Amino acid sequence: MLLAIDCGNTNIVFAVHDGTDWRASWRAATHAERTADEYAVWLTELMALNGLGPHDIDGTVVATVVPAVSRELRRLCRVYFGGEPLVVGDPDVRTGVPVRVDRPDQLGADRLANAVAGHARYGGPLIVVDFGTATTFDMVGADGGYEGGVIAPGIDCSVDALYAATARLPHIQVRRPDRVIGTNTVSAMESGVFWGYMGLIEGILARMEDAHGAAPTVVATGGLAPLFVDETPRIHHVDAMLTLDGLCQIHARNRATPAAGSKT
């Protein structure tokens, strides 16, 4: 079985794939000071609740956008799960994705995994919208190549900034308000955050489509994706496991015998 680890700025997701489907997944807050041993205690206990143990794992793959956590995740895999992990972004890792940007080394591993899984499942051209700590919009070409994207502040970051920068506005939860025009401070803030973000989503997607000159399929992933997808016809699919599926596919590609002269 494969243990896949997707480490974002806010949360780390651990998931086990049995070769056919995902058996279980678990989420923890990202803390740079947490050690491999601490992760191991937490993770092995949760695995046991699902009838799994470290002896069931014969491969590991890691994507992280938090460099400070990378060393401990590598040690977790090496000490507790039997070997060095495949780390997306390492120079020798083959993804099969041509990366057509100025600095390929700066492309987040999660965005690369989304491109891999998105093109495999939905074809191209494709835009992947990932609702995370930042909201990212990534353009994938008809051939599966990564062509660039847009990075915007995540909606939770926007809410936190609004609260931190004002003296009298409360901290609110992100939700779809019942009315556009708020009749009190909280409902006015909820409307501004939700519908303002809808405007950002639709505006960026429209401009990306115009710039690309095609009508791409749009797939959304990330925890807040379901909140927005029903409010716009521009998002065609929601895929909660997209990043993990991409990690699984990258791991499978690198376990296979590489073709002569292959660099991707």
Q: Which residues contribute to the annotated binding site for ATP?
A: 6-13, 133
> Can you tell me the distance from the alpha carbon of 68 to that of 74, in angstroms, rounded to the nearest whole number?
11
CA angle 22, 27, 32 (to 5 degrees): 130
Query: Residue 197, CB half-sphere, CA atoms under 13 Å: how many?
Result: 28
Query: Residue 27, CB half-sphere, CA atoms under 13 Å: how many?
Result: 8
Q: Which residues are annotated as a binding site?
A: 6-13, 108-111, 130, 133, 185
> Is 245 a residue of the active site?
no
N-to-C CA span, the chain: 24
> Can you tell me the distance from the alpha carbon of 171 to that of 162, in angstroms, rounded to the nearest whole number?
8
Place of tokens 């376990």: 255
Place of tokens 């205690």: 41
Q: Which residues are annotated as a binding site for substrate?
A: 108-111, 185
Do 11 and 257 touch, CB atoms closer than 8 A?
Answer: no
243 DSSP β-pair partners: none
In three-state secondary structure terms, 17 is strand
> Can you tell me the distance from the alpha carbon of 165 to that of 158, in angstroms, rounded to the nearest whole number?
11
- CB within 8 Å of 194: residues ≥ 6 apart: 174, 175, 176, 177
Which residue type does 126 have? L
Active-site pick, 37, 92, 110, 156 = 110
In angstroms and rounded to an integer, the radius of gyration of the C-alpha atoms of the chain is 20
- CB within 8 Å of 206: residues ≥ 6 apart: 234
Which active-site residues does the annotation give? Answer: 110
